[in-house]
Amino acid sequence: MGNTVGRQFNISPLQKEVIIGCLLGDGRLECRSKEGSARLRIHQGWKQKDLVFWKYKALRNLVSCAPRKIVCWKNPKSNEDYYSWYFHTKTIPEFKELYEIFYRYGRKRLPRNIPDLLTPLSLAVWVMDDGCNTGDSLILNTQNYSMSEHQKLQRVFQEKFGTFPTVNKDRDEFRLRFNRKDASELIKIITANIIPSMRYKIVPVETESARTR
């Protein structure tokens, strides 16, 4: 951490959108000092390798080391290793504001100013992290949010994007579900920012295969 003391790192508007999308999805900020310096940690499964490297490229000036492959689980029966991909940014004070927006008492929360933070790019990153296309609907796996936070998200999507998601029960938690019509509208907004290997998040695999025959 010493090599960042006294240095300033420019986070561009585009990088901020990517970071916000990561924080809404699988990314997390780790607060590393009393002064509020933090780092962004990206850790995703083997199938998300291209997405991890895309994020790394977008945030390159904020990162010291390239993503690396690590063992995330060992099957005790077969002794087979399962791998994931991981990198983190430098620990810098420039992340302090985002930490204060996204965390309370060390726990991630939905930012109060979420309407100002959601853009086509940040939403695309979020969908690439947490989206699931069933063919009949697009689901955002938002199970870590409370019902009141889901209701706020519903209003944001209605007012900002003209879509009307429902809150879908998932065991004892909740998630956002966009029906076929609203999913289609949402996909129009984000499709330009979806990388090729993540297209299955917006187009079911069987549909995509049929189109390429």
E strands along the chain, which residues? 28-31, 38-45, 68-74, 81-88, 103-104, 107-108, 131-133, 137-140, 166-170, 173-179
Q: Secondary structure of the chain: what % helix, strand, coil (to 5)?
A: 45, 25, 30
- Fold type of domain 26-108: Endonuclease I-creI (3.10.28)
Mean pLDDT by 10 residues, the chain (213 residues): 60 97 96 83 95 98 95 79 91 93 92 97 98 94 95 97 94 94 96 97 62 40
- Fold type of domain 114-203: Endonuclease I-creI (3.10.28)
Domain residue extents for the chain = 26-108, 114-203
Task: Return the pLDDT at 210.
Answer: 39
Which amino acid is it at 58? Answer: A
0.75 surpassed by pTM: yes
Domain pair 26-108 / 114-203, same fold: yes
